[in-house]
Structure 1
Amino acid sequence: MIALKDILYKVTLNAVVGNTSVEIRAIDFNSKNIAKNDVFVAIKGGVSDGHNYINAAIKQGAVAVICETLPDELMNGVTYVEVDSSSKALAIMASNYYEEPSANLKLVGVTGTNGKTTIATLLYQLFKNAGYKVGLLSTVKILVDTKEYKATHTTPDSLTINKYLQEMNEAGVEFCFMEVSSHGIHQHRTEGLHFEGGIFTNLTHDHLDYHNTFSEYRDVKKSFFDALPSKAFALVNIDDKNGLVMLQNTKARKYTYALKSYADYKAQILENQLGGLLLKLNESEVWTRLIGNFNAYNVLAIYATAELLGLEKVEILRLISGLESVSGRFQYFISDEKITAIVDYAHTPDALKNVLETINSIRTKNEELITVVGCGGDRDKTKRPIMGQIASALSTKVIFTSDNPRSEEPEAIIKEIEQGVEPQHFKKALSITDRSQAIKTACQMAQPNDIILIAGKGHETYQEIKGERFDFDDYKTVQEFLKQLQK
């Protein structure tokens, strides 16, 4: 048990009614999880408002309520605390409740549209291979040294973050690498965390269903760097015009990386093959099994971060050469029939363009490039025709299909994707709603030496349709169909 006043440390309070010395058991923002002697934090969400569940939480045993507006009727024996932002208060309270676990390790946040998962995961891999105990908070999974947990969000809620960080403390973890999404920043999930550094990858068309404008999306990302302390580092990609924007108001030590611009950390691609990349990082050459221009940026960010965290240059280069690709990120195999199948998470126009351009730069042009792609439902609709335009222009053949349609009709989503196809590419494009059938068709169309790209879902092992999740794995599906063709 801990006193309410202790977990309210550093929270800006507008009003308090009741006793802040009351002992509390736990904190939660879901009234259904509340038990005797808990604190209920009423958060205004996109779907429901926690303020409507205050009385339900009290009936469940809540002894304190954190809210943005005090209820008209106050219950005896309950402490009410009014704050400007309940989600911000929750994050600070979570850090206090778990005894500020982020202060006891070197926590690095990775933000940007593309590359977050790859950079965070490969930094985990690199530091683990260097002999350290390491933590990872990513879209794909959560790792407390070697113990693995399933991830549900790119950036988990602040209670979950601090719970895992405390577990990392107990496990003796020294470094933790964390994906930081724009949603997570905007909803204050990273508030109260002690960051050792922040990495900015790039900013392209995404999440405009959540952020009203691109500038709002950019400014949310920027606020993460604005909040970094002076002892932290801010590492940004300045080949992206928004890189320098991230550094404008930060107190952190500023570092830059780039392939095309003058920067503190510079990379040059010497060789680009299906087997990997030969890179020149500043003045040193290194071979990596990662593929494509976009991975050159990722490797450069990893190299810079490892050096900023104190690893020796020679050791970093040795460790980079041993890195393995991340699940669902340019994950490929070659069938017995010499058909190359690539599965990639590319679900934004820029990511899809990067992957297709990478494949086109490697292939000899004597083979076909068959792309299977869709777009998620209940998400930014404006990118759908752009995805259609890119996929049809940069592929030999393209099959538009269902992704995670969620509550939308998959056929309606596909029609919006098709609108981006330019007349000269009409003959290249097919539409097959069923994703399994679309992948099977691509396999049947492919000849020896052809390349199949299945984009959009990457590491995901499900399809989300009408509120239900059905088992579906792009990588396993294409493997099975290509094996069937060999019989």
Structure 2
Amino acid sequence: MIELKDILYKVAINAVAGNTVIDVNKIEFDSRKVSKGDVFVAIKGTISDGHDYIEKAVKQGAMSVICEKIPEHIENDVTYVEVDNAQTALAIMASNYYGSPSKNLRLIGVTGTNGKTTIASLLYQLFKKAGFKVGLLSTIKILVDDEVFEASHTTPDSLTINSFLKKMNDVGVEYCFMEVSSHGVHQKRTEGLEFAGGIFTNLSHDHLDYHNTFSEYRDVKKAFFDGLSDKAFALTNKDDKNGAYMLQNTKAKQYSYALKSYADYRGQILENSLQGLLLKINDHEVWTKLIGSFNAYNLLAIFGTAELLGLETLETLQLLSSLQSVSGRFQYLISETKITAVVDYAHTPDALKNVLETLNDIRTNNENLITVVGCGGDRDKMKRPVMGNIASKLSNKAIFTSDNPRTENPDRIIEDVEKGVEPQDYKKTISITDRKQAIKIACQLAETNDIILIAGKGHETYQEIDGNRIDFDDFQIVKEELKKLNK
């Protein structure tokens, strides 16, 4: 057992009512999960306020409550601790409760709009191939060396993060690569963690439904680098105009990577095809199975990180050439009739533009590029017409369809996407609400050597409609539809 005073170490406390020298069973921020001897942390969320559930948590056995305002009515045998920010307190307490697990391995955070999953996942893959015990905290999955766990958020809550880091400690994991989302930073989920390094990928239009303005979104990303210690490194994309901004107040040692600028890790694309990339990195040539200029940036970030973590250059280059693409990130197949289908998570304007420009660079223009794309419901509406504009402009045919409509009417979402289409591109677009039907039509329209891009959902194996999750896998569906055409 651990005492309350020990898990409150380094928490900024305003007031205490009761005794902190008491045993703690576990920490909870969901009142429904509270049991006897627990600490209940009252979090003010976007939908509900944990302060409204303090009384319920106490009735269920909570012996202590962490809150931003001590309630007027308090129980004599319960300890109440008032803090400025309950989310920050939860994160620090979680780290203390699990024995500060981030200090016992080298934790690397990857942040930016696009590329987080690819970089974190491929770093996991590379260090595993190098013979290390490795952990991964990503959108797709959580890995504790070889053990796989399902992921529910890009950056999990601080209790989940620390519990998995503790599992990693228990099996001797040496390196952990973690996606750090803007939501995660803003909601203080990464507070109390000790990062050995941070990677910045890029910044473009996303999550403005949550952050309100682009500058707020940018500054939340920057806050992650502001929090790095002088023992850590900060590796940034110098070709992104926000790259230098991320480093303005960081104490970490600063490094950069780029394709177009002078940088510590400088890359040049020598060949780019559907078979892969031939890159020159700091005067060394390397062939990789990944495709496109956006992956060239990802590979530079991976190379730089491996070097900064002490791997030898030649070993890193050999390992880069063996890396396999990540599920739902430019994942492709070629049918018997020579139709290429690409499934990608591109759900932001910048990501969609990158994938389409890559496909246009690779193809000879003797074949058609057919894009199936939609936008998620209950999310940033401003990007919808931009996505429609990009898809219709850079494709021979754009099919607008459902993504995860969630609680919104999918037809209304598609109408928002259609608003971005310019008059000269109207004839290139069709709208099919049913996503499976849209993929089927794309396959039927395609001829030999044509390319189909299915964008937006990538690795996801479900669709969210009216609060329900329905089995849905873009890659499996396009594979099946193309098989039918071969018969």
The alignment's TM-score, normalised by the length of structure 1, stands at: 1.00
Query: Which residue matches 1:90?
Result: 90
Separation of aligned partners in 2, 1:469 and 1:136: 25
Query: Which residue matches 1:363?
Result: 363
Separation of aligned partners in 2, 1:259 and 1:15: 53
- CA displacement, residues 71-125 of structure 1 (integer Å, 9 cap, x when unaligned): 1101110000000000000000000000000000000000000000000000000
Q: Residue 209 of structure 1: SS of its match in structure 2?
A: helix
Separation of aligned partners in 2, 1:247 and 1:414: 39
Matches within 5 A, 1:183-262: 183-262=183-262
- CA displacement, residues 314-368 of structure 1 (integer Å, 9 cap, x when unaligned): 0000000000000000000000010000000000000000000000000010001
Query: Which residue matches 1:276?
Result: 276
Gaps of 5+ in 2: none
* 1:401 counterpart = 2:401: yes
Query: Which residue matches 1:174?
Result: 174
Separation of aligned partners in 2, 1:393 and 1:256: 33
- CA displacement, residues 223-281 of structure 1 (integer Å, 9 cap, x when unaligned): 00000000000000010010000110000000011100111110000000100000000
Q: Residue 47 of structure 1: SS of its match in structure 2?
A: coil
Query: Which residue matches 2:378?
Result: 378
- CA displacement, residues 254-309 of structure 1 (integer Å, 9 cap, x when unaligned): 00111001111100000001000000001100000000000000000000000000
Matches within 5 A, 1:39-188: 39-188=39-188
Separation of aligned partners in 2, 1:477 and 1:371: 15
Matches within 5 A, 1:306-345: 306-345=306-345
Separation of aligned partners in 2, 1:427 and 1:213: 34
Separation of aligned partners in 1, 2:484 and 2:280: 42
**How high is the sequence identity, in percent, across the aligned residues?**
72
How many aligned residue pairs are there?
487
Separation of aligned partners in 2, 1:486 and 1:47: 50
| Letter of the 1:48 counterpart | S
| Letter of the 1:39 counterpart | V
- CA displacement, residues 136-185 of structure 1 (integer Å, 9 cap, x when unaligned): 00000000000000000000000000000000000100000000000000
Separation of aligned partners in 2, 1:128 and 1:444: 41
Separation of aligned partners in 2, 1:24 and 1:422: 61
Separation of aligned partners in 2, 1:62 and 1:408: 38
| Letter of the 2:417 counterpart | I
* RMSD (Å), alpha carbons: 0.3
- CA displacement, residues 345-404 of structure 1 (integer Å, 9 cap, x when unaligned): 000000000000000000010001000000000000000000000000000001000000
The alignment's TM-score, normalised by the length of structure 2, stands at: 1.00
Would you identify which runs of 4 or more consecutive aligned residues in structure 1 move more than 3 Å? none
| Letter of the 1:222 counterpart | K
Query: Which residue matches 1:265?
Result: 265
Separation of aligned partners in 1, 2:266 and 2:47: 45
Deviation of the 1:135 alpha carbon: 0.1
Gaps of 5+ in 1: none
Separation of aligned partners in 2, 1:218 and 1:167: 32
| Letter of the 1:218 counterpart | R
* 1:417 counterpart = 2:429: no
Separation of aligned partners in 2, 1:285 and 1:485: 40
Matches within 5 A, 1:464-483: 464-483=464-483
| Letter of the 2:296 counterpart | A
Q: Residue 364 of structure 2: SS of its match in structure 1?
A: coil
| Letter of the 1:176 counterpart | C
